[in-house]
Structure 1
Amino acid sequence: MSMRSRFKAMLYKSASAIAYAVTGVSLTDLRLGAFLAGGGSYAGKTVTVDTAMQLDTVWACVRLLSEIIATLPLNLYRQQGNGRAALARDHPLFRILHDMPNADMTAMEFWSCMVASLLLWGNAYGQIERRSDGAIIAISPLRPDRMTVRRDPVSGSLIYTYSWQQKVLVIDEADIFHVKGFSLDGIMGISPISAARHSLGAAIAAEETAGRMYANGMLSQSYIKSPDWLDDAQVIRAKEILKDYSGAINAGKTPLLEGGWTVESIGLNPSDLQLLQARGFNVETICRWFGVQPVMIGRMEKSTAWGSGLEQMNLWFLTYALQPWLVRIEQAIWRCLLSAVDKQTLYAKHNVKALLRADSAARAQLNTSEATNGVRTRNEIRADDDLPPLPGGDVLTVQAQMIPLVDVGKAAVQPTLKPVPGGPPQQLPQPAGIGDPDDD
């Protein structure tokens, strides 16, 4: 082997060792693509999770979806014989899902982390910790970019390999909580950042172009023309003079040109490039990848979030943006965290009624309709506001005012006989005007 080849081999090994020490992924590891979660783009920009999160639109969409889902109460229910379901507060998994999945994180922190992983990498992983009897006592999130999944050709089960700080941990399928995003094989979800790398690359390029124009004092499309050739000393002096007019802080200054120097334009100016319009279009494009209405992340140019449209917008957001993620999480809990016996009666479900707390009028109307039509008891409604139950509030009630039109105006006649056990019927006092006519 030549000296040059040996040097290249040593350099490659060193780079691979450094990459493995920092990221846990070597240069020859197939997980490198998952770690980057992106790739090259048509705009010439390399798109990764880190570079994508520097775009305000990506940050706003991920934060909105992850935090809204994390704020929805996640409860564990037990089906009862009468066809109804009750909270399974006595099950050890209830507090893990609802309150604190592990000793370091609250439920809000844990679920926002899991949903953010789903939105960025297309997968969310949690390591399950169990007691000696097999009961789950904690779930700890794992970075998706350090995980590989393969199927054992002998047993057919999935094997999860996690790399971190030069250590490799092989985790059995029974000890992994895996929530998958949109997938084509049912084993691994597709990273939205990787799928949207061309759109994100264009947005990154537009942001960089705008930033560099400000850094150059808005003179990036202009150049200074000298009437003659310059020697080295004159070039250095000219550059020193131009420093006084470069940078955003010097934007708007008018340079003083001597000796026949002129300012010429080259390329297109920002108006011709339609840079502002392109950046606005990128916001709508990125929102489309995440299924979020632009108005919900603050782009109010073409719509508004006030007035009567707020309720419909919330309904749209719940139906088309949140519901698919909620169902994925609920079904993953049923598949990964419940035993075969518990799967017959237990299930997890988010309380989406928490989204209506901001609209008191709609919420009051819904509660009234459910209480007067026998859908929910008054104590169940009070429990949504953390109010104590009231005596008699566990009875379903319905309105009994519906009568035929032909009976309108007729006085109600109460029964006059009351059966008494062990004796003849007793005559009850009668209202005036309802007794026998012969008694008048």
Structure 2
Amino acid sequence: MKITKRFKNAYKAFKNNSADIELEHLLDFLGLKGVNKDDLSEATYFACLKVLSESIGKLPLKLLKYTDKNGVTAARDHPLYRILKERPNPYMTASTFWSTVEYNRNHFGNAYILIDGAGEDTKLWILDDRKMQIWYDDARLLGENADIYYLYSSGSKFYKFGSEEILHFKTSHTFDGITGVSVRQQLKTSIQGNLKSQELLNKMYENGFTAKAVVQYTGSLSDDNVKTFISGIEDYATGKLENEGIRNIIPMPLGATLTPLNIKLADNQFIEVKQYSALQIASAFGIKPYQIGDYTKSSYASAEAQQLSFYVDTLLYILKQYEEEISYKLLSQYELDQGLHFKFNISVILRADLKTQIETLSTAVGNFIYTPNEARALLDMEAKEGGDKLLGNGASIPVNLAGIQYQKGDDTNE
């Protein structure tokens, strides 16, 4: 088969796939698909998405530059500084934008951002994962160079984007290093099991914790009469006649007996199984048990220790991926060589109580690490005159002069 014909067939398949996606959404909207795979009513799954998306959304993203003296300074004069830190596009604040990106990354396995414009005119737009396909064009059908291309469908139109035009963030679950696999796909059975267990519990609440019942009656009834007979009893049992003032009484005809078959949750270890399943889902996301309300095995000394553990075990990998992708796609090679790079400010989640902050900053100022004005800036206080000098203990001396104070002076009395 010729290359051009293969490309046309692949393109046709891509169009058909997008049509299937639209049909799938329509069936979901009309309620014709049973349990919706995008359903967020599973409490643990929703809580994990919320924790991760809000954690990323609350971290300021800054553009920094290494100085000639191996220091770091904020590149506030760069046109991208305010765009990524404050408003990536006209309709979203930075907090909303990055939390939405993180939500998509976890829920779908991939998050795609279109880079529109350059310099001061740069705008970032979040694209729908369900309308995106990734092609590696080794046959050079889509461009002059063998590259990864992103094909995006929007209505009846299709767009082709090169790898340098898309910011692509993926989960750590990936088999090819290009596309990520969502936690929802990995734990599909556990999440659906939790949804069904919650549905069961809801039905039991509705039925007064009576799952099923056996009706004994004398005589013979046709199938249609049995259905009518049972339907009437069920209306009373399930509270469908509450509007008529009938709540707790079930009338039974002469010669009929109703025997309830109760389900005991304790006998089936319902709570234990559900708790174990919730911990499995949280563990797959890297979420700590205390973050989903489970304090049974909390062993942290302080809230600060909890946040540090969450940062090291979970957020560090995510933030590193964001910083690497954003710096590589949004900065030129010249700017990278000049030491420009993007970095999230993680101090906002590792911030200690005010007393500890004051003591830590005082120690840093007294040991030539921070100037007073740098310490005041971390407390959101204005700079003061004379506060830009390093201060410290006057007894401190350079290491190459250690012990010089104990040497005897030369006698020059001759």
- TM above 0.5, yes or no, is yes
Alpha-carbon separation, structure 2, partners of 1:359 and 1:47: 43
Unaligned stretches of 5+ in structure 2? 1-11, 29-33, 398-414
Alignment-derived partner of residue 39 in structure 1: none
Equivalent position SS for 2:209: coil
2:237 aligned residue (239, 245, 250)? 245
For the residue of structure 1 that corresponds to 2:254, the secondary structure is coil
CA distance in 1, matches of 2:363, 2:171: 36
Cα contact 2:183–2:284 (8 A) shared by 1: yes
Counterpart code for 2:54? E
8 A contact 2:368–2:390 mirrored in 1? yes
Change (3 A) 1:235 1:113: closer
1:158 to 136, 144, 148: 148
- Offset at residue 386 of structure 1 (A): 2.8
TM-score by length of 2: 0.80
Q: Is the Cα–Cα contact under 8 Å of residues 181 and 328 in structure 1 kept in the other structure? A: no
Distance in 1, matches of 2:216 and 2:239, equals 20
Partner of 2:126: 141
Matched, 1:283 2:273: no
User: 5+ residue gaps in structure 1?
Assistant: 1-15, 37-44, 404-440
Shift of 1:201: 1.8
1:323 aligned residue: 316
How far, CA to CA, are the matches of 1:248 and 1:400 in structure 2? 83
Q: Give the match for residue 394 of structure 2.
A: 400
**Paired residues, number:** 366
Matched residue, 1:99: 86
Give the counterpart of 1:228 among 219, 228, 232. Answer: 219
Distance 2:359 2:292 in 1: 28
Deviation (angstroms), 1:360: 1.8
**1:239 CA drift (Å):** 2.1
Q: CA RMSD in A?
A: 3.1
Partner of 1:407: none
Partner of 1:383: 377
Of residues 361, 364, 367 in structure 1, which corresponds to 2:358?
364
What is the CA-CA distance between 1:235 and the residue it aligns to? 4.5
2:161 to 146, 150, 171: 171
**Residues 210 and 260 of structure 2 are in contact (CA less than 8 Å); yes or no, is this contact kept in structure 1?**
no
8 Å CA contact 1:221–1:269 kept in 2: the answer is no
Deviation at 1:278, TM superposition (A): 2.4
Deviation at 1:54, TM superposition (A): 1.7
Q: Does 1:129 align with 2:120?
A: no
**What's the CA shift for 1:227?**
3.2
Q: Distance in 2 between matches of 1:252 and 1:377?
A: 73
Deviation at 1:67, TM superposition (A): 0.9
Contact 2:211 2:263 in 1 (8 A): no
SS in 2 for 1:319: helix
In the other structure, the counterpart of 1:10 is none
Q: 1:242 to 1:199 in 2, by over 3 A?
A: closer
**Match in the other structure for 1:313:** 306
User: Matches of 1:281 and 1:365 in 2, distance apart?
Assistant: 41
Letter in 2 for 1:177: L
Partner of 2:170: 180
Looking at structure 2, the residues matched to 218 and 205 of structure 1 have their Cα atoms a distance apart, in angstroms, of 16
Q: What SS does structure 2 have at the residue aligned with 1:315?
A: helix
User: What's the counterpart of residue 411 of structure 2?
Assistant: none
Q: 1:358 to 1:59 in 2, by over 3 A?
A: farther
Evaluate the alpha carbon distance shift between residue 292 and residue 401 of structure 1 in structure 2; reply closer, same or farther with a 3 A threshold.
same
2:363 counterpart SS class: helix
1:168-204 CA-to-partner distances (Å, cap 9, x unmatched) read 1111222111122212322112211111112112111
Tell me how far apart the structure 1 counterparts of residues 283 and 196 of structure 2 sit (CA, whole Å): 19
- 2:349 is paired with a residue whose SS is helix
Match of 1:334 in 2: 327
Q: Which residue of 2 aligns with 1:425?
A: none
The alpha-carbon deviation at position 266 of structure 1 amounts to 5.2
| Aligned CA distance change for structure 1 residues 249 and 285 (closer, same or farther; 3 Å) | farther
Identify if the C-alpha distance between structure 1 residues 244 and 186 changes in structure 2 by more than 3 Å, giving closer, same or farther: same
SS of match in other structure, 2:266:
helix
Q: Provide the C-alpha distance between the structure 1 equivalents of 2:294 and 2:117, rounded to a whole number of angstroms.
A: 46
Pair 304,220 (structure 1): closer, same or farther in 2 beyond 3 Å:
farther
1:128–1:136: 8 Å Cα contact kept in structure 2? Answer: no
**Superposed displacement of residue 56, structure 1:** 1.5
Aligned to 1:57: 44
SS at 2:153 equivalent: strand
> Separation in 1 of the partners of 2:171 and 2:225?
62
Match for residue 409 of structure 2? none
- Residues 35-67 of structure 1, C-alpha deviation per residue, up to 9 Å, x if partnerless? x9xxxxxxxx9672x22x221111111111111
Q: Of the two, which has the highest radius of gyration?
A: 1
Residues 293 and 206 of structure 1: CA distance in aligned 2, closer, same or farther (over 3 Å): same
